[in-house]
Amino acid sequence: MPKITPENTVLIQKTLSQNRRFRKITQKIAGQVALEHGITYTQFLALQTLNHQPNIDLNQLAQALHLSKSSTSGIVERLLHNALLAKTKQAADQRKVALCLTEKGQAITQAVHTNFYDCLAPITTLSTSELQQFINLQEKIIQNFEEAAHERQTSGS
């Protein structure tokens, strides 16, 4: 594993700061767009997840959102109340309930998605190759973190 030096400590701090700024900006934009459509950012994430993974259950949705089951349950109840979600029986096990978007839920998900990406247009000032380099570097960093975490787990430290 590489050694930490004062020089790369500064670069690491700048990287973390930039990532926090980027995440904060994009979450703020997404939150504002979602509120314009009468939902919260987290509700939008739930709708978007169900748009891509229809007919999953509450536990699966909670895992996908990285939230507790109780937090996810509250989100789902509000979305059901606003007729953005529906509950159906799962085909494989009639005792289990699956969640799916209603037509209204699909329409709001699509509108928020479109408006959100319209707001992200400043990213397109980068070329396709620059964006791909950015993605590749992020993926490499994430992979290095995951490998280091795995090594720490297997070594018992």
Q: What confidence tens digit (pLDDT) does each residue in 37-71 have? A: 999 999 999 999 999 999 999 999 999 999 999 99
- Domain residue ranges in the chain: 6-121, 126-157
Q: Which of 13, 16, 44, 17 is nearest to 107 (CA)?
A: 44
Q: For residue 122, what is the DSSP state?
A: G
Q: How many residues does the chain have?
A: 157
Is there a contact between 39 and 49 (Cβ–Cβ < 8 Å)? no
pLDDT given for residue 109 in this prediction: 96
* Rounded Cα distance, 42 and 65, in Å: 8
pLDDT > 70? residue 72: yes
* Rounded Cα distance, 27 and 20, in Å: 10
Task: For residue 66, give both structure tokens.
Answer: 């990285």
Angle separating helix axes 41-52 and 6-36, nearest 10 degrees: 90
The reported pTM is 0.74
Distant-in-sequence, close-in-space partners of 9: CB < 8 Å, separation ≥ 6 = none
Q: What confidence tens digit (pLDDT) does each residue in 79-126 have? A: 999 999 999 887 777 778 899 999 999 999 999 999 999 999 999 999
Q: What confidence tens digit (pLDDT) does each residue in 116-143 have? A: 999 999 999 999 999 999 999 999 999 9
Query: Considering the domain 6-121 in this protein, what is its CATH number?
Result: 1.10.10.10
